[in-house]
Amino acid sequence: MKPRILVSRPPFPEVLQPLRQRCLVEANETGVAWSLEEFHRRVADKEGLLISGADRIDEKLLDAAPHLKVVCNVAVGYNNIDLAACTERGVLATNTPGVLDETTADLTWALLLAAARRLPEAERFLRAGEWQGWMGDAFLGRDVHHATLGILGLGRIGQAVARRARGFSMKVLYHNRTRLSRKTEKALDVQYVSFARLLREADFLSLHLPYSQNAHHIIGAKELARMKPTAVLVNAARGGLVDDVALIAALRSQRIAAAGLDVFENEPNFNPDFLKLDNVALAPHIGSATRATRLAMFELAVKNLLAALAGKRPPCLLNPEAWTKRRK
Residue closest to 169 by CA, chosen among 205, 140, 143, 199: 143
Is residue 136 very low, low, confident or very high in pLDDT (cuts 50, 70, 90)?
Answer: confident
pLDDT of res. 135 = 86
Question: For this structure, is 40 an active site residue?
Answer: no
Residue closest to 158 by CA, chosen among 105, 120, 231: 105
Question: For this structure, is 285 an active site residue?
Answer: yes
pLDDT of res. 9 = 87
What does 61-103 look like in DSSP terms, one character per residue? HHHT-TT--EEEESSS--TTB-HHHHHHTT-EEE---STTHHH
pLDDT of res. 29 = 83
pLDDT of res. 2 = 94
CA distance 257 to 246: 14
**pLDDT tens, position by position, 14-40:** 888 889 999 999 999 887 889 999 999
Q: Across residues 180-195, what is the average pLDDT?
A: 98
For the chain, percent of residues with pLDDT exceeding 90: 91
The active-site residue out of 238, 265, 294, 299 is 238
Residue closest to 198 by CA, chosen among 178, 217, 216, 171: 171
What does 145-191 look like in DSSP terms, one character per residue? TT-EEEEE--SHHHHHHHHHHGGGT-EEEEE-SSPPPHHHHHHHTEE
The domains of the chain, with CATH numbers, are 4-99+291-325 (3.40.50.720), 101-282 (3.40.50.720)
**pLDDT tens, position by position, 31-89:** 788 999 999 999 999 999 999 988 999 999 999 999 999 999 999 989 899 999 999 99
41 by Cβ neighbours in 10 Å (0-12 / 13-18 / 19+) ranks as exposed
Q: Is the pLDDT of residue 130 over 80?
A: yes
User: What residues have CB less than 8 Å from 225, skipping those under 6 apart?
Assistant: 250, 255
The active-site residue out of 4, 117, 118, 285 is 285
pLDDT of res. 17 = 86
Is residue 106 very low, low, confident or very high in pLDDT (cuts 50, 70, 90)?
Answer: very high
Residues linked to residue 50 through DSSP beta bridges, in sequence order? 7, 72
pTM: 0.92
Residues linked to residue 235 through DSSP beta bridges, in sequence order? 207, 261
pLDDT of res. 266 = 92
Task: Please report, as a single letter, which amino acid is at residue 58.
Answer: D
164 by Cβ neighbours in 10 Å (0-12 / 13-18 / 19+) ranks as middle
Q: Is the pLDDT of residue 328 over 90?
A: no
Mean pLDDT, the chain, as a whole number? 96
Is residue 98 very low, low, confident or very high in pLDDT (cuts 50, 70, 90)?
Answer: very high
Q: Is the pLDDT of residue 293 over 90?
A: yes
The active-site residue out of 56, 267, 326, 327 is 267
Task: Please report, as a single letter, which amino acid is at residue 39.
Answer: F
Q: Across residues 100-108, what is the average pLDDT?
A: 98
ω before 284 within 30° of 0 (cis)?
no
Q: Across residues 111-126, what is the average pLDDT?
A: 97
Q: Across residues 95-105, what is the average pLDDT?
A: 97
User: What residues have CB less than 8 Å from 158, skipping those under 6 apart?
Assistant: 151, 152, 174, 206, 208, 209
320 by Cβ neighbours in 10 Å (0-12 / 13-18 / 19+) ranks as exposed
Question: For this structure, is 201 an active site residue?
Answer: no
CA distances from 221 to 91, 168, 209, 247, 256 (A): 39, 30, 19, 7, 11
CA distance 198 to 177: 13
Residue closest to 233 by CA, chosen among 101, 107, 111: 111
